[in-house]
Amino acid sequence: MYPDERVARFITDNFIAARVHVRDQAGDFVRFGERFNAQWTPTILELDPDGVERHRIEGYLPADDFLGQLTLGLGHMAFKRGDFGEAEKRFREVVDKLPRSDAAAEALYWAGVSRYKKSGDASALGETAHAFKQRYTDSPWAKKASVWSA
Amino acid sequence: MDIRWRHDIDRVLSEAKEQKRPVLLDFSAAPM
């Protein structure tokens, strides 16, 4: 995951990168593992500036899927702080740039929700449900969005 | 490019708050 140039650039541009090693920092691994409920490696947490976990990735992922998850996490972080414009931008980034990644269907769902939360316009949800009839049709997110169909 | 991993987690969490910047915290077994 990390040797990929795009991954390294994305992390450097968007986060303070911190690592706790299971053997070389055994004491810290136990202490922070208990604090953040991490018992397996790799476990990668996206924390907001107040140290609150906003997204969790457990296990190895290929670079595109990892990038998708990292971007999805930034979308969720923006959503939680009520910045729905930034949240939609991040979610759309996953759908547009990494459409085959595992995170894309979830990102499409939350992009629609973010647009609705920002605008109050329910057509954002209907259009999202319609989009799920064209793509990611077998995903659980398509089922969740189906209730928005007119 | 290489990622500049920090290992002083308490300090990182403090700086994140001051700088209003998110943290990527990696619990790892990869060779250091």
**Residue type (1 letter), A116:** Y
Pairwise CB contact (< 8 Å): B22 & A48: yes
A122-137 tens-digit pLDDT: 999 999 999 999 999 9
Quickly tell me which residue has 């990292």 as its tokens.
A70
The per-residue pLDDT for B30 is 83
A36-57 tens-digit pLDDT: 999 999 999 999 999 999 999 9
The per-residue pLDDT for A150 is 65
The per-residue pLDDT for A3 is 81
Please state the pTM of the whole predicted model.
0.95
| CATH code given to domain A5-148 | 1.25.40.10
A97: distance to nearest CA of chain B, Å? Answer: 21
Pairwise CB contact (< 8 Å): B24 & A2: no
Query: Where are the domains positioned within chain A?
Result: 5-148
* Mean pLDDT confidence for A90-111: 98
Count of other CB atoms within 10 angstroms of residue B23: 24
Dist. CA A142–CA A135, nearest whole Å: 9
Helices (H) and strands (E) in chain B, counts: 1, 1
